[in-house]
Copies of this chain bind each other. A is one copy, B any other.
C-alpha cells in the first residue's frame, strides 16, 4: 500500500469536465450543502470546482497548511484529527459522502486548524476559496445550509468536550457505540466500519485502554464483541453505562 503523502498544492487527479458534469451535478445535489438548489446554480458550482482522488490513508491536508479551498466528500471517508508531538491522535470527526471538509478554514482564509486524511480510497469535489465565497454570497440558501452544518458540528464538538472532561473512557465508548447503532431496543449487531485503533482515537484514548473498556462493557452484560462485530445485548444497560462516571 502506497502511503506517500501529497501536499494540498499537488493535484492527485483531475477528471475532464464535460462528459461527467451531469453525474457530478447529481452527486452534489445529494450533498446537504447544495441539495435543493436548482440545476443552474449547481452547474455554476460544478464549473468552479473539480474532482480529486485520494488513496486510502492519504493526507488531504495538514494542520497549519494554508487553506486554499474546501472539499465535499463524494465517496469514501475522511478523518479530521489533531495530533500531539508524541504521536497520539484525537479524531474530531469522520466525514462521509455529501459532507464538507475544511470549510471553516476556507471561510476565514486561515490555515487549517486540524489535519485530515482518508480512511479509504476517496473522491472529493474541491472548490477554491474565492469561488466558494462567491457562491455563498450569491446563494443565501447555501449560506443557510452551511450555517446549519456548522451548528451541528458545534453541538457535536460541545458534547465531545463534555465527554472528554466529565466522563471516563468506558462511558465515552458506550456513547460512541450508541451513536453507531440506529437505536431499536433488543439485541442488535453493529459492524464497526473503522479499526479499533481508529475507534480509540475517536473515543480519545489508546488501543490498550479501549480494549479494556470493551471488556468492562462485556462483563457488565451490555454487549459482546468478536473482531469488528459488536453485538449490543442490552441497549438500555448500555445507555445507563454511558452516563457520567
Contacts and interface: CB of A to CB of B under 8 A. Distances in A.
Given A140-B143, A157-B158, A150 B150 contact: yes
A175 to B, nearest CB: 13
Given A90-B161, A160-B161, A82 B143 contact: no
A243 B85 contact: yes
Contact of A155 (B84, B104, B143, B161): B104
Interface in A138-165: 140, 143-144, 146-148, 150-155, 157-162, 164-165
Contacts of A166: 82-84, 86, 88, 90
Nearest to A144: B143
Contacts of A244: 84-86
A48 interface: no
A131 interface: no
A172 to B, nearest CB: 11
A148 B105 CA distance: 10
Contact of A104 (B107, B108, B146, B151): B151
A151 B108 contact: yes
Contacts of A165: 82, 88, 90, 164, 204
Contacts of A92: 158, 161
Contacts of A85: 243-244
18 contacts: A82-B159, A85-B243, A90-B161, A104-B154, A107-B148, A108-B148, A113-B154, A113-B155, A114-B158, A136-B144, A136-B147, A140-B143, A143-B144, A147-B147, A147-B150, A150-B150, A164-B165, A164-B204
Interface of A: 82-86, 88, 90, 92, 104, 107-108, 110, 113-114, 136-137, 140, 143-144, 146-148, 150-155, 157-162, 164-167, 204, 243-245
